[in-house]
Structure 1
Amino acid sequence: MTGLHERHLAVSPDWMALYYRRPLELTHGEGRHVWDAEGKRYLDFFGGILTTMTAHALPEVTKAVAEQAGRIIHSSTLYLNRPMVELAERVATLSGIPDARVFFTTSGTEANDTALLLATAYRRSNQVLAMRNSYHGRSFAAVSITGNHAWSPTSLSPLQTLYVHGGVRSRGPYAELSDAQFIKACVADLEDLLGHTREAAALIAEPIQGVGGFTSPPDGLFAAFREVLDRHGILWISDEVQTGWGRTGDHFWGWQAHGEHGPPDILTFAKGIGNGMSIGGVVARAEVMNCLDANSISTFGGSPVTMAAGLANLSYLLEHDLQGNARRVGGLLIERLRAIGARSSCVREVRGRGLMIGVELVKPGTDEAHPEAAAAVLEAAREGGLLIGKGGGHSTSVLRIAPPLSLTVAEAEEGAEILAEALHAAD
């Protein structure tokens, strides 16, 4: 155990997990690579939990941060803030929400907490619909709508939460149905649920479940849900903390795979937009955003420095078509990993979209989750020079792969080869 690890354990909560038997101290990064304190280089396929969206040490972002820090670092939302207004204008337009208003926070957790505040105030109801196997953050309100028990440490809640089926396509009672039948069954489940409850405030859903193991429903499920929700006046909150900004390749936002009836009422975002800087936010149509009848500010949300980073990062993303790169390189990587998975006795499924890929591991010859194998692959990949994540339901048996969106074909091939060796070691 290193001295830094010992010091970490002495001052940190027991529940704040670290990856690896010998935890890593990352000291610097460049492009799609990071280095540890011993000087070893790693290909980064996790991006600080899907947060380093464009590249490590992207010159355009570091320059914007330094220049803004040289002018003014902090002011709060009590003063006009040019970088915040400029980023809000761009996000409002990109969101697809008409007459959109944007409120910046410091994290995805805070963004989802704010969305719940808006929805419950607007609807005058504390009842919320959420998806099974979901994750929405670590605040008291966010854990109370998290459908993944491994990440929800208390049953006490300010909200009455009801869980809807549909976030996991290949497991559960509807797994054997066709996509059309799956959607029909999930809609029937939602209709039945609403028939036995009072009016809910909102349905909050991740288009692709992040911590849950990169699971997703068939395209169109949330559009079908929207028809039901609209009849009841229930708002739809799309949690785009992990799926936003083109990571899925096919779409800029995850909700667009279900967009037949237009954008969500509320959209939350975070992670990738800041490329590591602390930015989260909420977009909602003015009627919903303005429903609060009390004063509110944000001390750190919309910080001039983080907004400058967000503007530079978003500009780089759009100007270099990183969404298109995620679609092209991600598509190649998924097919490569499926070919590797077909040779492994413990790979149940390789799934995902763009550069958001999950590899689900099971005990050979069974359908039983295999968290020990996932832990072993994580360690073996690290030894081979590749950093990945893990998640998935209650068992953390899914390898999570989410590199920066500027990943090259050569780097995708390199990472796939390392992962193939790690899976072979686990077998």
Structure 2
Amino acid sequence: MTPDLFGRHRAVLPDWLALYYEDPLELTHGEGRHVWDAAGNRYLDFFGGILTTMTAHALPEVAKAVGEQAGRILHSSTLYLNRPMVELAERVACLSGIPDARVFFTTSGTEANDTALLLATAYRRSNTILAMRNSYHGRSFSAVGVTGNRGWSPTSLSPLHTLYVHGGVRTRGPYAHLDDREFTDACVDDLKDLLGHTRAPAALIAEPVQGVGGFTSPPDGLYAAFREVLHERDILWIADEVQTGWGRTGEHFWGWQAHGQNGPPDIVTFAKGIGNGMSVGGVVARAEIMNCLDSNSISTFGGTQVTMAAGLANLAYLLEHDLQGNARRVGGLLLERLRAVAARVPHVREVRGRGLMIGVELTRPGTDEAAPEAASAVLEEARAGGLLIGKGGGHDTSALRIAPPMSLTVAEAEEGAAILERALRSV
């Protein structure tokens, strides 16, 4: 990127608007799993605009749908009947697994979670929310109020009374030494104890795999065990699928399905990948919850025709080409490859994840102490080698986040793993 653009960025945009790299990067175009910067350098993209370019850059089917819709009408608001919105809602409702589902479209994951919190608190007549430690749910006032990651929670003020629950991070915390069954039992006991000391909460909001938290997750079945406790007390379960939805985890179409023995969540939120870069988010809930609001509402931009056209084309491509299966197959190969690399790199504490959602946690060798400077160094070295990755984590941003478009090939996975191996060894 030219220094002029960086200077202009700093002159008019907030200081807290984060940029990657010591020399920030301007991306000008992309194709498939690759992007190019303003200097003409080509990169293999293993982060997809924060898990948002879900299928591929410049996917012809999506570009065609957007262009054709833009040539007819871009926008009308929800005050008018909207065929693409109805068609996408029908598909999402069917795929959600929620009986008698209703869908409300938003422009982002933050807005989707904000809406879910509004619905849950109105339905249950309570502003108490259970959330997971190390969680992230967005940057709005209410979403920040249920975010359990201090690096992304800039204020303690909130319209909600939030209580944080153990269980989102398997390998850290007071229960890390337990086996999976004991870990789940301890977290359930902690939840029961917590509920004995508070007024009835409206809902538990949880990411099946914590995204910004570094792609951490509990043992499969933990949220099903939580659901039993919640159901006995009429407490709702909100699954934040903003990063895990649409088959990215490979084994399941939704992340909650790893914990789904007791049926689907009461509310599911989604965003990011469904639009493949277009601003699409949304909430799915059964009718009695979605319809509980006793006042009128609209959305100016949620469900606008051009973004719905993109979502329809993108979802059709994903299903027709079995990108969930590809995420399982290629993601499994990539995960094993990175675990083999990690065994020879002292800074790597853990390689975790599922499908094409992989976290590499870095620590100071021989300790559990976070190494954010190592994560930043690997990020820079990977870029120098032609690979873009992300970072995150609940312990001073010391986890690398790897989430390529779900059409990633085996050859591209091997290429990216080789670049990342060199970057890790350089630390």
* TM-score range normalised by the length of the shorter chain: over 0.9
- Contact 1:34/1:41, CA 8 A, preserved across alignment: yes
Matches within 5 A, 1:100-139: 100-139=101-140
Matches within 5 A, 1:174-189: 174-189=175-190
Partners in 1 of 2:391 and 2:295 — Cα distance?
41
Partners in 1 of 2:350 and 2:186 — Cα distance?
23
Partners in 2 of 1:373 and 1:357 — Cα distance?
18
Q: 1:367, CA displacement in angstroms?
A: 1.0
Which amino acid letter does the alignment assign opposite residue 198 of structure 1?
A: R
Partners in 1 of 2:20 and 2:195 — Cα distance?
41
Runs (4+) off by over 3 Å: none
- Contact 1:356/1:400, CA 8 A, preserved across alignment: yes
Structure 1 equivalent of residue 279 of structure 2: 278
Secondary structure, in 3 states, of the residue corresponding to 2:411? helix
Structure 2 equivalent of residue 38 of structure 1: 39
Matches within 5 A, 1:97-246: 97-246=98-247
Partners in 2 of 1:238 and 1:317 — Cα distance?
21
Partners in 2 of 1:328 and 1:176 — Cα distance?
30
Structure 2 equivalent of residue 50 of structure 1: 51
Structure 1 equivalent of residue 73 of structure 2: 72
Q: Deviations over 1:60-89 (max 9, x none)?
A: 000000000000001000000000000000
Structure 1 equivalent of residue 381 of structure 2: 380
- Contact 2:54/2:274, CA 8 A, preserved across alignment: yes
Which amino acid letter does the alignment assign opposite residue 38 of structure 1?
A: A
Which amino acid letter does the alignment assign opposite residue 236 of structure 1?
A: W
Q: 1:365, CA displacement in angstroms?
A: 1.3
Aligned length: 426
Secondary structure, in 3 states, of the residue corresponding to 1:29? strand
Question: Is residue 309 of structure 2 the alignment partner of residue 308 of structure 1?
Answer: yes
Partners in 2 of 1:394 and 1:184 — Cα distance?
25
Structure 2 equivalent of residue 13 of structure 1: 14
Q: Deviations over 1:145-192 (max 9, x none)?
A: 000011000000100000000000000000010100000000000000
- Contact 1:120/1:201, CA 8 A, preserved across alignment: yes
Partners in 2 of 1:266 and 1:12 — Cα distance?
35
Structure 2 equivalent of residue 337 of structure 1: 338
Partners in 1 of 2:367 and 2:238 — Cα distance?
36
Q: 1:310, CA displacement in angstroms?
A: 0.1
- Contact 1:271/1:278, CA 8 A, preserved across alignment: yes
Partners in 2 of 1:162 and 1:373 — Cα distance?
32
Which amino acid letter does the alignment assign opposite residue 188 of structure 1?
A: D
- Contact 2:107/2:281, CA 8 A, preserved across alignment: yes
Partners in 2 of 1:272 and 1:135 — Cα distance?
17
Which amino acid letter does the alignment assign opposite residue 90 of structure 2?
A: E
Q: Deviations over 1:281-307 (max 9, x none)?
A: 000000000000011000000010000
Q: 1:240, CA displacement in angstroms?
A: 0.1
Partners in 2 of 1:310 and 1:423 — Cα distance?
36
Question: Is residue 424 of structure 2 the alignment partner of residue 407 of structure 1?
Answer: no
Secondary structure, in 3 states, of the residue corresponding to 2:261? helix
Partners in 2 of 1:178 and 1:365 — Cα distance?
22
Q: Deviations over 1:338-382 (max 9, x none)?
A: 000000010000000000000000001111010000000000000
Secondary structure, in 3 states, of the residue corresponding to 1:358? strand
- Contact 2:43/2:388, CA 8 A, preserved across alignment: yes
- Contact 1:149/1:394, CA 8 A, preserved across alignment: no
Which TM-score applies when normalising by structure 2? 0.99
Q: Deviations over 1:188-240 (max 9, x none)?
A: 00000000000000000000000000000000000000000001000000000
Which amino acid letter does the alignment assign opposite residue 86 of structure 2?
A: V
The root-mean-square deviation of aligned C-alpha atoms, in Å, is 0.5
Q: Deviations over 1:217-266 (max 9, x none)?
A: 00000000000000100000000000000000000000000000000000
Q: 1:394, CA displacement in angstroms?
A: 3.8
Partners in 2 of 1:342 and 1:16 — Cα distance?
35
Q: Deviations over 1:259-285 (max 9, x none)?
A: 000000000000000000000000000
Partners in 2 of 1:359 and 1:73 — Cα distance?
41
Structure 2 equivalent of residue 368 of structure 1: 369
Partners in 2 of 1:388 and 1:56 — Cα distance?
16
Which amino acid letter does the alignment assign opposite residue 90 of structure 1?
A: R
Which amino acid letter does the alignment assign opposite residue 229 of structure 1?
A: L
Which amino acid letter does the alignment assign opposite residue 334 of structure 2?
A: L
Partners in 1 of 2:366 and 2:314 — Cα distance?
45
Partners in 1 of 2:410 and 2:380 — Cα distance?
24
Partners in 2 of 1:186 and 1:69 — Cα distance?
50
- Contact 2:209/2:244, CA 8 A, preserved across alignment: yes
Which TM-score applies when normalising by structure 1? 0.99
Structure 1 equivalent of residue 419 of structure 2: 418
- Contact 2:370/2:395, CA 8 A, preserved across alignment: no
Q: Deviations over 1:396-427 (max 9, x none)?
A: 0000000000000000000000000000111x
Structure 2 equivalent of residue 295 of structure 1: 296
Partners in 2 of 1:34 and 1:210 — Cα distance?
22
Partners in 1 of 2:305 and 2:424 — Cα distance?
44
- Which sections of structure 2, spanning at least 5 residues, go unmatched? none
